């Protein structure tokens, strides 16, 4: 019993260490973070301006509603990008800095290591997502009196469990391919969102893409966040989305861990768990 | 119980070159044992298999055959237990370069279960011990010299109180003064902490001055492992360099191969 509690304490301290390291990195690269945030704002504005542009070319839409639909899509895209980027850095950044061998030979279990990265990613991503939403909503003067922001945040956090599971699968890519693995993570992010109705309803997709949208957690995250922000849906109204996200999370996290472990074993067998790859 | 037991340890890598893919043996059935508290130097030119040996014992590689146990624990199956006992210093200091020495040591200590209140005084104390100036503790690592970075690497290894310390070319590329300081510190650690040390180096003088026994690793084969004096007597050599030549059939500096 004492051995177990000691082991658990070590793991929790280790988990804190993963978060602590990422906080130091944010602190040290704060101006890069500011620049990246400005780029994300600009990128989001270009997408959300589409809602203003449609009436200008003769289309008839509810501009405020479409603006919000596009804004939620862009914020989720940016959030997912941060989750995947931070999890992919589990390997990619460490390899670049040369610390990969020291981290992977430390007595920290891989699930705790990856969950630490995931927890930090959620915290950091949520702060960025709230800021991004606030800045762009203010820019367009969006009036959302019915919005249930707490429900939207809960949906986003529950969706993050699945995103972390999928992120673990993409995090292994730089371990297998040091040169191109990171870019493949972006491919996974794009594929996930294209089938999930990021800027459009999934009903406009071809049938085979609609089938894929059913297993994508981003589908339920987008639907739930939009319902909460546009229609003011509360947590009880969003139970279908939350339930689906929990089921996908229950599958994707163990699958992500298994994939990462398999990749790590491959890397150890082939000598890729090192600085130069 | 032996600190380290290595039997018939083999490792191959796949290498791609103009002739296509081929398997290259990095270690060809290495056997040796180290007693608790002993310092053993493995001497070999670049590419002789030293780093592969250290990476196997650090649980970063899986072997193609053979066994390795650290204080009785299987290095390839019981990795968690082995990781708690082992730490290393390698030729590259390897830190997050924008982060300071204190920050790099703090998070690394957490990975070994050391809580903030345990490292608050311990990190500054250990940095002082390795001769790291107090006024540079909060500077980014990228501003520090190689010698300074290597001192922080030593501090990182010692912070976790390893009972087996793996040193892979710890003084390569250091200026003579830094080299001497690092070597002094290794002696001090052995004397004060009862640590077992496996030192892989291509510095003949370093091996002779620090180690109880010296092994010659050449082309993945451990040719001999004896006290330096016995080694010289065996090959009727005045220096370790001559002993290396007699054991391997080629001069030490001509033995370099591509690292895997």
Question: How do residues A17-48 score in pLDDT, each as one tens digit?
Answer: 999 999 999 999 999 999 999 999 999 999 99
Q: State the smallest CA–CA distance between residue A158 and chain B in angstroms.
A: 27
Mean pLDDT across chain A, nearest whole number?
92
Contact flag B62-A269 (C-beta cutoff 8 Å): yes
Q: State the smallest CA–CA distance between residue A132 and chain B in angstroms.
A: 27
Which residue carries 């922001």 as its tokens? A149
Least confident of A178-187, B109-118, B127-136, B159-168: A178-187
pTM (predicted TM-score): 0.91
CA torsion through residues A72, A74, A77, A83, sign:
negative
pLDDT at A189: 80
Q: Which of A14, A29, A105 lies closest to B58 in CB terms? A: A105
Kindly state whether residue A277 falls inside one of the protein's structural domains. Answer: no
| CA-to-CA dists, residue A254 to A115, A218, A261, B30, B103, angstroms | 12, 18, 10, 38, 32
Kindly state whether residue A276 falls inside one of the protein's structural domains. Answer: no
Per-residue pLDDT averaged across A116-141, rounded? 96
Q: Which residue of B has its CA nearest to A99?
A: B94
Q: Answer whether residue A276 shows pLDDT above 70.
A: no
Q: Answer whether residue B124 shows pLDDT above 70.
A: yes
Q: In what order do the strands lie in the sheet with B20-34?
A: B20-34, B4-17, B65-70, B73-74
User: What residues of chain B have any CB closer than 8 angstroms to a CB in chain A?
Assistant: 13-14, 52, 55, 58-62, 80, 83-84, 86, 88, 90, 92, 94-99, 103, 106-115, 140, 156, 260
A143: domain range? 2-270
- What span, in angstroms and rounded, lies between the C-alpha atoms of A78 and A46? 13
pLDDT at B255: 58
Model confidence band, residue A249 (pLDDT cutoffs 50, 70, 90): very high
Per-residue pLDDT averaged across A106-120, rounded? 95
pLDDT tens, residue by residue, A56-70: 998 889 999 999 999
Residues of B with Cβ-Cβ distance to A28 under 8 angstroms: 96, 98-99, 140
Per-residue pLDDT averaged across B145-163, rounded? 91
Kindly state whether residue A252 falls inside one of the protein's structural domains. Answer: yes
Burial environment of residue A134 by CB neighbours within 10 A (0 to 12, 13 to 18, 19 or more): exposed
Q: Which residue of A has its CA nearest to B102?
A: A24
**Contact A68/A45 with Cβ under 8 angstroms?**
no
Which residue carries 């702060």 as its tokens? A127
Q: State the smallest CA–CA distance between residue A23 and chain B in angstroms.
A: 10
B9: helix, coil or strand?
A: strand
Kindly state whether residue A259 falls inside one of the protein's structural domains. Answer: yes
pLDDT tens, residue by residue, A263-274: 999 999 998 888
Higher pLDDT, residue A83 or A179: A83
pLDDT tens, residue by residue, A202-227: 999 999 999 999 999 999 999 999 99
Name residue B5's beta-bridge partners: B33, B69
- What span, in angstroms and rounded, lies between the C-alpha atoms of B260 and B250? 21
Helix residue ranges, H only, B3-59: 50-57
Residues of B with Cβ-Cβ distance to A98 under 8 angstroms: 92, 94-95
- Residues near A253 by Cβ (< 8 Å), separated by ≥ 6? A161, A162, A164, A165, A168
Q: Which residue of A has its CA nearest to B108?
A: A17
Q: Which residue of A has its CA nearest to B78?
A: A107
pLDDT at A104: 95
**Contact B151/B132 with Cβ under 8 angstroms?**
yes
Residues of A with Cβ-Cβ distance to B98 under 8 angstroms: 25, 28-29
- What span, in angstroms and rounded, lies between the C-alpha atoms of A232 and B201? 67
| CA-to-CA dists, residue B77 to A4, A120, B73, B141, angstroms | 19, 30, 8, 35
Kindly state whether residue A174 falls inside one of the protein's structural domains. Answer: yes
Q: Answer whether residue B260 shows pLDDT above 60.
A: no
The total domain count for chain A is 1
Per-residue pLDDT averaged across A6-12, rounded? 91
Q: Of all helices (H) and strands (E), which one includes residue A246?
A: helix A239-270
For residue B51, give the nearest of A180, A275, A225 by alpha carbon: A275
CA B126 to the chain's CA centroid: 20
pLDDT at A66: 95
A262 and chain B: CB distance < 8 Å anywhere? Answer: no
pLDDT at B171: 87
Q: Which of B60, B83, B98 lies closest to A107 in CB terms? A: B83
Q: Which architecture characterizes domain B4-254 according to CATH?
A: 3-Layer(aba) Sandwich (3.40)
Kindly state whether residue A142 falls inside one of the protein's structural domains. Answer: yes
pLDDT at B68: 97
Least confident of A94-98, A226-230, B140-144, B218-222: A94-98
Model confidence band, residue A277 (pLDDT cutoffs 50, 70, 90): very low
pLDDT at B256: 59
Kindly state whether residue A264 falls inside one of the protein's structural domains. Answer: yes
Model confidence band, residue A91 (pLDDT cutoffs 50, 70, 90): confident
Q: Which residue of A has its CA nearest to B157?
A: A102
pLDDT tens, residue by residue, B35-76: 999 999 999 888 899 999 999 999 999 999 999 999 999 999
Q: Which of B15, B91, B113 should be substituted to probe chain A, the one whose Cβ sees the most A Cβ atoms within 10 Å?
A: B113
């Amino acid at each position: 019993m004492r051995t177990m509690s000691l082991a658990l304490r070590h793991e929790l301290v280790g988990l804190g260490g993963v978060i602590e390291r990422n906080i130091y990195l944010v602190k040290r690269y704060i101006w890069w973070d500011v620049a990246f945030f400005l780029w994300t704002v600009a990128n989001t504005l270009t997408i959300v301006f589409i809602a203003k542009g449609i009436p200008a070319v003769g289309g008839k839409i509810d501009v405020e509603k479409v603006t919000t639909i596009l804004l939620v899509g862009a914020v989720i895209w940016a959030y997912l990008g941060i989750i995947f980027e931070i999890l992919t850095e589990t390997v990619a950044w460490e390899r670049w800095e040369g610390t990969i061998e020291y981290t992977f030979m430390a007595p920290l279990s891989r699930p705790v290591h990856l969950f630490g990265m995931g927890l930090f990613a959620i915290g950091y991503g949520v702060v960025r997502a709230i800021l991004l939403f606030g800045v762009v909503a203010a820019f367009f003067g969006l009036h959302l009196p019915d919005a249930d922001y707490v429900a939207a945040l809960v949906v986003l956090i529950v969706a993050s469990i699945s995103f972390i599971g999928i992120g673990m699968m993409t995090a292994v890519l730089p371990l297998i391919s040091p040169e191109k693995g990171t870019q493949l993570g972006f491919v996974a992010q794009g594929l996930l969102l294209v089938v999930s109705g990021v800027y459009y309803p999934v009903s406009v997709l071809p049938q085979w893409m609609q089938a894929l949208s059913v297993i994508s957690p981003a589908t339920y995250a987008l639907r739930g966040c939009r319902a909460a922000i546009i229609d003011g849906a509360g947590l009880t109204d969003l139970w279908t989305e939350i339930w689906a996200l929990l089921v996908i999370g229950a599958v994707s996290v163990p699958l992500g861990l298994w994939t990462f472990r398999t990749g790590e074993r491959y890397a150890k067998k082939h000598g890729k768990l090192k600085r130069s790859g | 119980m032996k600190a380290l037991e290595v039997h018939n340890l083999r490792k191959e890598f796949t290498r791609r070159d103009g002739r296509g893919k081929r398997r290259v043996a990095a270690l060809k059935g290495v056997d040796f044992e180290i007693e608790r508290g002993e310092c053993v130097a493995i001497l070999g030119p670049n590419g002789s298999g030293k780093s592969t040996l250290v990476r196997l014992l650090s649980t970063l590689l899986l072997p193609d055959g053979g066994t390795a146990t650290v204080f009785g624990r299987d290095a390839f199956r019981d990795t968690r237990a082995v990781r708690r006992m082992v730490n290393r210093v390698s030729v590259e200091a390897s830190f997050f370069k924008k982060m300071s020495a204190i920050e790099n040591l703090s998070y690394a200590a957490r990975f070994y279960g050391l809580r903030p209140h345990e490292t608050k005084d311990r990190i500054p104390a250990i940095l002082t011990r390795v001769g790291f100036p107090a006024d540079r503790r909060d500077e980014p690592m990228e501003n520090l010299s190689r010698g300074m970075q290597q001192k922080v690497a030593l501090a990182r290894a010692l912070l976790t109180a390893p009972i087996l310390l793996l040193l892979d070319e710890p003084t390569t590329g250091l200026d003579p003064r830094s080299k001497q300081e690092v070597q002094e510190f290794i002696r001090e650690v052995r004397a004060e902490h009862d640590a077992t040390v496996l030192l892989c180096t291509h510095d003949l003088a370093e091996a002779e001055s620090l180690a109880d026994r010296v092994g010659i690793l050449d082309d993945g084969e451990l040719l001999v492992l004896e006290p330096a004096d016995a080694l010289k007597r065996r090959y009727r050599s005045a220096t370790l360099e001559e002993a290396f030549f007699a054991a391997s059939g080629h001069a030490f500096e001509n033995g370099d191969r591509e690292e895997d």
